[in-house]
Amino acid sequence: MGVAFINKEEMFRAHMFDQLCHIKRYWLDVCEKGGRNITIDEAADEWVERFAASFTQH
């Protein structure tokens, strides 16, 4: 199965949505499994710092 994008804007939106899903999963893991109580914004900052560079290579 494959995915085709009509234009770069659609591809960008899909990529951003995917990134948001990863950030939310990270936030839930940190709060539930890691025992830390942080905001979604703090989790987003941490996720971007730790994973954004490798995420853009997908």
Digit-by-digit pLDDT tens for the chain (58 residues) are 666 767 888 888 888 999 999 999 999 999 999 999 999 999 999 999 999 888 765 5
1 domain residue, yes or no: no
Q: Supply 21's token pair.
A: 């899903």
2 domain residue, yes or no: no
36 domain residue, yes or no: yes
Range of the domain at 25: 8-55
Q: What value, to the nearest 5°, has the Cα angle with vertex 46 and ends 24 and 52?
A: 80
Using CA atoms, how far apart are residues 35 and 17, in angstroms rounded to an integer? 26
Using CA atoms, how far apart are residues 15 and 24, in angstroms rounded to an integer? 14
24 domain residue, yes or no: yes
12 domain residue, yes or no: yes
Q: Based on the structure, what is the number of domains in the chain?
A: 1
48 domain residue, yes or no: yes
pTM of the model: 0.79
Q: In this structure, is the dihedral angle defined by the CA atoms of residues 23, 26, 32 and 36, taken in order, positive or negative?
A: negative
